[in-house]
Amino acid sequence: MSEASILRWFRDSAYGELVRDVYWLFPTLEILHFLALCALFGALLFMDLRVLGFNKAVPLSLTIRFVPVALTAFALALVTGLGFFCSAPLDYWPNPSFRLKVLLILVAGANALWFELSARRTMRTLPPGAEMSHAARWSAGLSLTLWTTIIVLGRVLPYTGPSQ
């Protein structure tokens, strides 16, 4: 299966046709995508800044409560973003900003998985004011850097690409 045939499969999918054919759907997806990214980044900001050592009065165990918010927001951002892609995959895929954004989302996912499997258990047991390990703090800083970059790349997509 070639790259072009995979891109055409996305374009010809029911989701791609729906987003192209229903005139109000693309702007609705944009609104939902923006709200999802706000919720995702807000939850990550709260959690990651605390892991980095800011606002030590907040117990680390409290920040764990924002994980479902972040996961739900990410799922919504993924579904809405997939709608954009399916509407015009032949325009998105050649764009280097889009490809970098996809790569960084995968790296952010791997970082989140590492944090979940290694550092989150520790968060439940640490007392208020405690600090996380250097590795956990590095992961939190990486998370904020990755998601800031991902959001910026999404914003510059219309202004970059092979034809620009």
Give the end-to-end CA distance of the chain in Å, rounded to a whole number: 29
Sign of the CA dihedral with 128 first, then 134, 50, and 47 last: negative
Q: Where are the alpha helices (H) located in 65-95, listed in sequence order?
A: 67-87, 89-92
Residue with tokens 């900003």: 97
Q: Is 129 part of any domain?
A: yes
How many domains does one find in the chain?
A: 1
Q: Is 94 part of any domain?
A: yes
Q: Is 20 part of any domain?
A: yes
pLDDT tens figures, 73-123: 999 999 999 999 999 999 999 999 999 999 999 999 999 999 988 887 787
Q: Is 164 part of any domain?
A: no
Instruction: Find the domain containing 82 and state its range.
Output: 3-159
Contact assessment for residue 142 and residue 111, using Cβ atoms and an 8 Å cutoff? yes
Quote the pTM value: 0.91
pLDDT band at 130 (very low <50, low <70, confident <90, very high): confident
pLDDT tens figures, 133-153: 899 999 999 999 999 999 999
47: which 2 tokens? Answer: 């959690």
Percent of the chain with pLDDT over 70: 98
Residue 127 has pLDDT above 90, yes or no: no
Q: Is 87 part of any domain?
A: yes
Q: What is the mean pLDDT of residues 21-29?
A: 97
Tell me the C-alpha to C-alpha distance, in Å, between residue 69 and each of 12, 14, 75, 93, 138. Answer: 32, 29, 10, 29, 22
- Fill in the amino acid letter for 155: R
